[in-house]
Amino acid sequence: MSAQIDKNVLDKANTWLKGNYDDETKNTVRDLIKNNPEELTESFYRDLEFGTGGLRGIMGVGSNRMNKYTVGSATQGFSNYLKINFPELEQIKVAIGYDSRNNSKYFAQIAADVFSANGIKVFLFENLKPTPELSFAIREFKCQGGIVLTASHNPKEYNGYKAYWDDGGQVISPHDKNVISEVNKIENIDEVNFNGNKDLIEIISDYFDNIYIERIKALSLSPEIIKEQNDFKIVYTPIHGTGVKLVPQALKEFGFTNVHIVREQAEEFGNGDFPTVKSPNPEENAALALAIKQAKDIGAELVMATDPDADRVGIAVRDGIDFVLLNGNQAATLLINYLLGKWQENGKLSGKEFIVKTIVTSELLVDIANKFSVKHYDVLTGFKYIADMIKSLEGKETFIGGGEESYGYLVGDFVRDKDAVISCAMIAEAAAWAKHNGIEMLDLLKEIYVEHGFYKEKLVSVVRKGKSGAEEIQKIMSGFRSNPPSLMGGSKIICIKDYQSGKSLDTITNISSPIDLPKSNVLQFFTEDGSKVSVRPSGTEPKIKFYFGLKGKLDDISDYGKVNDKLQDKIDAIVDELGL
């Protein structure tokens, strides 16, 4: 059977058989060589890449899988880099969190052992926790770094490892690439020290939840309204993940007394098999199906669902007797509109406040910020860049809130990653505030469209796998750069932003100006009618993403359906124009 296996794959598998790996691992490798050459190839044809966000992959034995040894190597490399960066410190400290995925707790313990074996103090959560609480812990314990074991909303076969820096945000340049370099220097498993030092591992029990929740509670802008609307009926699901305890606790502390949990998806310690869903992704209708059914049955007014590590939230709002799932841009619109309106109403705006969004997120947030004379900043895709913007303006300007179209939002600056616990509490407060003012959330969104314009967004992903697929994606990007369209959807393109070249071209005057952001392989086309189309190859998957943000005029909310259909037709026409 081994004769059918690529020599490089077999050689790498044999290094695991000869190396300092445990017997169970070696027996599994032998079985793969003998009985499953296809799986052996997938497991060993490359090393699992430590990318700019860390590791993510299928769990199993092999160099291309999430396991004790790939996690250990990543942690050894990160340990080495921390010691290079903080040589003056008597004690380097890290925090470690993990979600409900299978093996997350086990991998977290492996990481704790490796860090502590390298003389690094570890704050290890005793139980599964939301990713944002890990970010908060890094700041509270004054750590130099941290990690969380999670694969976000990937299928159950996956796990992952995200690395954080001393500000509580995920590592960015230059640290991201430098950590990768240190990880890649480890060529032999014997270079990884797995002999943990228990004296350097401090277990963080659930007491820390209360510290985190108290900080969240202080964000509330309408406590009197919640007292009046305390029976506002909410259905929440953690989708078998880490939000199971803290989201209901945050809602209770805010004053909501009528919160209903989807019990089939709310195990105390989560369930890494995600038995009720195909994918634990709050962007998908199917993941909220049980919650929406329960909401209909009991007459609830708001549905919220968090992903396994509780950093993203999907919401559904009433549409007559039914519910409609809002996209990430719409939820961000309602949240930012509420925050800025209440800050103004409460007399908190001084002219030094700001919001942040990613470049592919709706331009409607800019319109709302301008209405309240609040600054806005655009950053590259990825919440780590929002965190970095908060860090760069610390002590100079005040961060109110921010978000990205992929269902991640943050309010306040004591966490430096997207936070679904905070977001659930603040979105529920916004909904209660809307009810107090005699309007439902969907109608409020429509009124915002009447005031600022109807922004219709859609994401289209084109999958191109393998080496040939990567080449095709590059060819698509090159084609847009060398021969950009002059029209989209019948509207003239007036500006082209190329984040790879760092230039913004005014196509009317043919004058270029610099883009003050790091280089990234992204193109954006802005049209005369206020629409935006962004093109971006995915950094983690074999696909190229097209973000459509079209703008139309809505004169009255009664015309919502008609204008919505018209804009959808326009998106479909552009998709056809682009040959997607």
Residues belonging to the active site: 152
Order the strands of the 408-411 sheet from edge to edge: 375-379, 353-358, 398-404, 408-411
Q: CA-to-CA distance for 483 and 220, rounded, in angstroms? A: 50
Helix (H/G/I), strand (E/B), else coil: 152: coil
Question: Does residue 232 contact residue 252 with C-beta atoms inside 8 Å?
Answer: no
Question: Does residue 329 contact residue 457 with C-beta atoms inside 8 Å?
Answer: yes
Q: What is the CA radius of gyration of the chain?
A: 24
Task: Enumerate the H helices of 185-303 as residue ranges.
Answer: 207-217, 223-228, 243-254, 289-298
164's CB contacts (< 8 A; 6+ apart) are: 95, 134, 135, 138, 145, 146, 147, 148, 170, 171, 417
Question: Does residue 421 contact residue 310 with C-beta atoms inside 8 Å?
Answer: yes
Q: Record the tokens describing residue 562, joined without a space.
A: 């008609």
Q: Which of 345, 357, 247, 242 is nearest to 302 (CA)?
A: 247
Residue 326 per-residue DSSP state = P
Residue 496 phi/psi, 5-degree rounding, is -125, 125
How many residues in the chain? 580
Q: Which is it for strands 408-411 and 121-125: parallel, antiparallel or unpaired?
A: unpaired
How wide is the angle at C-alpha 110 spanned by C-alphas 105 and 113, nearest 5°? Answer: 125
Question: Does residue 71 contact residue 106 with C-beta atoms inside 8 Å?
Answer: no
Q: CA-to-CA distance for 384 and 504, rounded, in angstroms? A: 23
Q: Record the tokens describing residue 60, joined without a space.
A: 């199993």
483's CB contacts (< 8 A; 6+ apart) are: none
Order the strands of the 259-261 sheet from edge to edge: 259-261, 234-237, 302-306, 313-319, 322-325
Q: Which of 355, 362, 321, 320 is nearest to 336 (CA)?
A: 355
